[in-house]
Amino acid sequence: MTSSHTPAPTPFRLFPLLFTALTGTMAMMSYVAVIGPIVRRLGLPEWIAGLSLTVGGVFWMLMARWWGRTSDRHGRRRVMLIGVAVFALVYMGLAVGVDLALRGYAGVTAVALLLIVSRALIGAFYAAVPPTTAAAIADNTLPKDRATVMAKLGTANAVGMVAGPAAAGWLATVSLGGALYAAALLPVLSFLVIVFWLPRQEHAVANTGERPRAELSWLDPRLRHIILTAFTAMGSVAIAQVLVGFFAIDRLGLSEPAGARVAGLSLTVVGVSLIFSQQFVMRMKSVPPRRWIWVGALISGIGFSSVTLTNSATTLLLSYGVGAFGMGMIFPTFQAMAANAVQSHEQGAAAGTLAAAQGFGMVVGPLAGTLLYRFSPALPYLVVAGGLLALSLGTAVGRGSAITNPVGKDD
């Protein structure tokens, strides 16, 4: 009799997670697209824009693991709602403050502090989203299906990388403040989608009160190679993103506006190539995850090494497209491998550790890339290519538990 009144389990819905990833990436990348024109309009030094981006990356790196562990204890949905809610509130406050400054109602010092502090808070609270979405997928998918579903999540992020700057750039021609307001509305929509469409039913660990017996270490042997993969991949992407405009101007002899256009086209090509590559991963379900890593790193290494031989905008775009195509094989795969390598009560901690490793790559990559660029425009690309080719070789010959995924046994 009691069983007849037991509610049926709520079916897992992927759409809220994909929508949250899409809108979150759009909002984050929209800021990147408009911060340059904003600081120029306000008469701020360029380093303010760079510092705000760096601070956001640092706080993302510092908070991602904590959010992941917290979601293991209190549930993915609750942590996601908190992160997205504060993200939306701070972003709206940023938009209002910048709009007032553009209208002449705020001073230079005040708006500089606003940019830095708000971006720090945005990085800290948006850091809750990547690990909780990845952990929620791991909670609700079989090990053999995780790479495919993670590729869908990666595709949502890639679409956001393309759509965010494009939409913000178009809106900025009408109103710089309006572009930020539009970006601030995206996490609001995401919050509503989570509230109404993401099931309240959580993974069993969150409901039973089970706690991890020990905190997941950065040196956990199950994740060492995967963490290195995440750091290498994101650091390579960050270097390529920050240098493309300089490279186009210095190596191809373009003017600043022409170099900016080529840089924008390159990043668009990267996003499109990531989308196509991850669609490829989604359809090739029988390929072992380790193979995606070493093949993707090999392709990406070849692509970025070929940048050193480019002599036109067309070949530069082609090189970036090849590099991004390989990256599209790597990103969803290392997330799936990490999920398969740990126990159910460690999914959030593992996803948070990977997000932190990627955040570290986002912080270290641009700094290292720009320092190497001072010696030679080709040097950073050679270092990126060398790291990716070493990753490919190490993954291809490796047989460690972190590579072979002992829990999922799907490799």
Residues 6+ apart with CB under 8 A from 105: none
User: Which has the minimum average pLDDT: 28-42, 183-197, 250-264, 322-336?
Assistant: 250-264
pLDDT above 90 for 129: yes
171 in Cβ contact with 182 (< 8 Å): yes
Among candidate residues 99, 317, 347, the one with its CA nearest the CA of residue 216? 347
Residues 6+ apart with CB under 8 A from 267: 161, 165, 241, 244
- CATH number for 12-143+164-198 (one of 3.30.70.270, 1.20.1250.20, 1.10.3720.10, 3.10.110.10): it is 1.20.1250.20
Residue-range domain boundaries for the chain: 12-143+164-198, 224-404
CA distance 390 to 233: 12
275 in Cβ contact with 158 (< 8 Å): yes
Q: What is the pLDDT of residue 3?
A: 45
Among candidate residues 232, 274, 224, 271, the one with its CA nearest the CA of residue 358? 232
pLDDT above 90 for 389: yes
75 in Cβ contact with 139 (< 8 Å): no
The pLDDT-based confidence of 392 (bands split at 50, 70, 90) is: very high
pLDDT above 90 for 98: yes
The pLDDT-based confidence of 8 (bands split at 50, 70, 90) is: very low
* Three-state secondary structure readout of the chain: CCHHHCCCCCCCCCHHHHHHHHHHHHHHHHHHHHHHHHHHHHCCCHHHHHHHHHHHHHHHHHHHHHHHHHHHHHCHHHHHHHHHHHHHHHHHHHHHHHHHHHCCCCCHHHHHHHHHHHHHHHHHHHCCHHHHHHHHHHHHCCHHHHHHHHHHHHHHHHHHHHHHHHHHHHHHCCCHHHHHHHHHHHHHHHHHHHHHHCCCCCCHHHHHCCCCCCCCCCCCCCCHHHHHHHHHHHHHHHHHHHHHHHHHHHCCCCCHHHHHHHHHHHHHHHHHHHHHHHHHHHHCCCCCHHHHHHHHHHHHHHHHHHHHHCCCHHHHHHHHHHHHHHHHHHHHHHHHHHHHHCCHHHHHHHHHHHHHHHHHHHHHHHHHHHHHHCCCCCHHHHHHHHHHHHHHHHHHHCCCHHHHCCCCCCC
Per-residue pLDDT reduced to its tens digit, 107-126: 888 999 999 999 999 999 99
Encoded tokens for 225:
């190679």
CA distance 301 to 395: 14
**May I ask the CATH architecture of the domain 224-404?**
Up-down Bundle (1.20)
CA distance 388 to 287: 20
pLDDT above 70 for 4: no
388 in Cβ contact with 275 (< 8 Å): no
Q: What is the pLDDT of residue 403?
A: 44
CA distance 324 to 157: 13
Average pLDDT over residues 143-150: 84
| Helix axes of 129-140 and 347-373: crossing angle, nearest 10 degrees | 140
Residues 6+ apart with CB under 8 A from 121: 59, 86, 90
Average pLDDT over residues 86-101: 96
93 in Cβ contact with 159 (< 8 Å): no
pLDDT above 60 for 410: no
198 in Cβ contact with 310 (< 8 Å): no
CA distance 327 to 300: 6
Determine the Cα angle at 63 with ends 132 and 380, to 5°: 100
Per-residue pLDDT reduced to its tens digit, 286-316: 788 888 898 999 999 999 999 999 888 889 9
pLDDT above 60 for 36: yes
Q: What is the pLDDT of residue 408?
A: 42
Per-residue pLDDT reduced to its tens digit, 224-242: 899 899 899 988 988 887 7
Higher pLDDT, 379 or 370: 379
Q: What is the pLDDT of residue 324?
A: 92
The pLDDT mean for the chain works out to 84
Q: What share of the chain has pLDDT > 70, as a percent?
A: 89
CA distance 8 to 235: 44
- Is there a common fold for 12-143+164-198 and 224-404? yes
Q: What is the pLDDT of residue 289?
A: 82
Q: What share of the chain has pLDDT > 90, as a percent?
A: 35
The pLDDT-based confidence of 48 (bands split at 50, 70, 90) is: confident
